[in-house]
């Protein structure tokens, strides 16, 4: 798999919907780590008019640990307002995961330390 977008505990459905639409249009997989601040059941998706949802490569995980367990061979890139480089400064190898934190708090403290790529 090529590029993957990961949202850790997303809170705002409109943000996730916009990201999902971009992922569907670009063939990028979207990974959501629970808990989510909204429902993505069939009724909620239909009500929101997300007509592209069936074209989306979507993966949902019950926890951060579950995500890492299922994607242990990935190349992880953590996106933060505190980063020293921008996303454009990086050459992404195959099977890369761009990980974003929740809107209100960003990435959890210590997330990089528990990444399997960090040992």
**All domains in the chain, ordered by first residue:** 3-118 (3.40.1280.10)
Q: Which two tokens stand for residue 68?
A: 């890492």
Please say whether the beta carbons of 4 and 92 come within 8 A.
Answer: no
Nearest-angstrom CA–CA distance, 91 and 111: 22
Q: Does pTM surpass 0.85?
A: yes
Question: Tens of pLDDT along 23-69?
Answer: 999 999 999 999 999 888 877 776 766 788 888 999 999 999 999 99
Question: Tens of pLDDT along 65-107?
Answer: 999 999 999 999 998 887 788 888 889 999 999 999 999 999 9
């Amino acid at each position: 798999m090529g590029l993957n977008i990961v949202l850790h505990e997303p809170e705002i459905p409109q943000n996730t919907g916009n990201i999902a639409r971009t992922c569907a249009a670009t063939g990028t997989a979207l990974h959501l780590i629970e808990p989510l601040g909204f429902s993505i059941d069939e009724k909620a998706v239909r009500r929101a008019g997300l007509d592209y949802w069936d074209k989306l490569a979507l993966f949902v995980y019950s926890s951060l640990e579950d995500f890492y367990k299922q994607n242990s061979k990935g190349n992880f890139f953590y996106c933060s307002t505190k980063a020293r480089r921008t996303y454009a400064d990086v050459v992404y190898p195959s099977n890369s995961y761009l990980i974003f934190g929740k809107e209100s708090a960003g990435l959890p403290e210590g997330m990089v330390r528990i990444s399997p790529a960090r040992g």
